[in-house]
Amino acid sequence: MKESEREQRSGIVGREPRKVLVTGGAGFIGSHVAEGYLARGDRVWIVDDLSSGKLENIPDGATFHKMSIGDPAVRDLFQEVGFDLLNHHAAQIDVRISVEDPLRDATTNVAGLLNLLEAARASGTRRVVYVSSGGVVYGEPEERPTPELAPKLPLSPYGVSKLAGEQYLHYYREVHGFEYVALRYSNVYGPRQDPHGEAGVVAIFCNRLLSGQEIQIFGDGEQTRDYVYVKDVVQANLHASDLGLPPSRGLDDRAFNVATGMGTSVNRLADLLEAVSGLRTPRVFRSPRKGELRHSTLDITRFSARGWSPRHSLKDGLRETFQHIARSSKAEAAAEVR
């Protein structure tokens, strides 16, 4: 297929290099996304308070500002630079924290978003790529893989805050003329993933295999998730940044699932990691955790029809991730010896 035909099919519009703000760009996914923009010639600024992100994740060539997305100084930055695009990855992402402290979750995920959107509105930024969560906004869906049009019945404050973000963006589109795309991620994994929260299960298991510690599984291990490799997620963000957007009739017209369409149980995930690593360690089963879903697999038909689909198999992605974590562990050990 010729490039012009591919662009026409996907709805991607012609583009020039942009000034892009990536919030959370020192984090696991955000840093990869920032690298993706830089690689295609965009200028990139990063806002991150380093509460979970790391300085070493910030890619060369990006301009870094250490600040919270709720900081009033964010508005000054928007005015100073005049961003063409806001890519919003900064968030409170732990389901358990949201259950224990809903106010903390909403302060970051709702109030922080509003601070950014008001800054964007005042400075003329009108294009937003927003990271939502397909793993939580649908609740415990009856239909799997779950399409974007499925009922939105979140079962955690985190899910509520992510869905609220989409609703605010719909308002800003209707009233202030914003153009936005909401990417509903499934479980993203890959290099630089922090071993915390449910979303970090791959990194947790890798670290435990490397250290010879037992793998802890909450529940019976037959709960399923849709694991998508971070390199595929980067391409989804770049694609969404240039996607042609027809008139919107409702919330779901601007939302796309970013996943593989395949569910994998926690037990199967552990089996695959043992296979790619050549290591084994005992497994211990604990009580299920509150607020977590039994099954989550997302339908990617709509986004695939617009030109994006994952290219990495789960086994290949896990192999690359394990090798990265193993190299990082050796480097850290060597540094401690010195």
Q: How far is CA 143 from the centre of its chain?
A: 22
Q: Could you give the 3-state DSSP secondary structure of residue 204?
A: helix
The pairs formed by 70-75 with CB atoms below 8 angstroms and a separation of 24 or more are 70/107, 70/108, 70/111, 70/112, 70/115, 71/115, 72/115, 74/47, 74/115, 74/116, 74/119, 75/115, 75/118, 75/119, 75/122, 75/123
Instruction: Quote the CA–CA distance of 287 and 271 in Å, as a whole number.
Output: 20
Q: Quote the Cα angle for 251-21-162, to 5°.
A: 30
Query: Which of 37, 130, 138, 158 does the annotation list as catalytic?
Result: 158
Q: Which of 42, 121, 131, 18 is nearest to 78 (CA)?
A: 121
Is 158 marked active-site? Answer: yes
Specify the DSSP class assigned to residue 197.
S
Question: Amino acid letter at 214?
Answer: E
Tell me if 256 sits within 8 A of 184, measured CB to CB: yes
Please give the structure tokens belonging to residue 73.
Answer: 């100084």
Q: Which of 219, 122, 228, 234 is nearest to 176 (CA)?
A: 122
Catalytic residues: 158
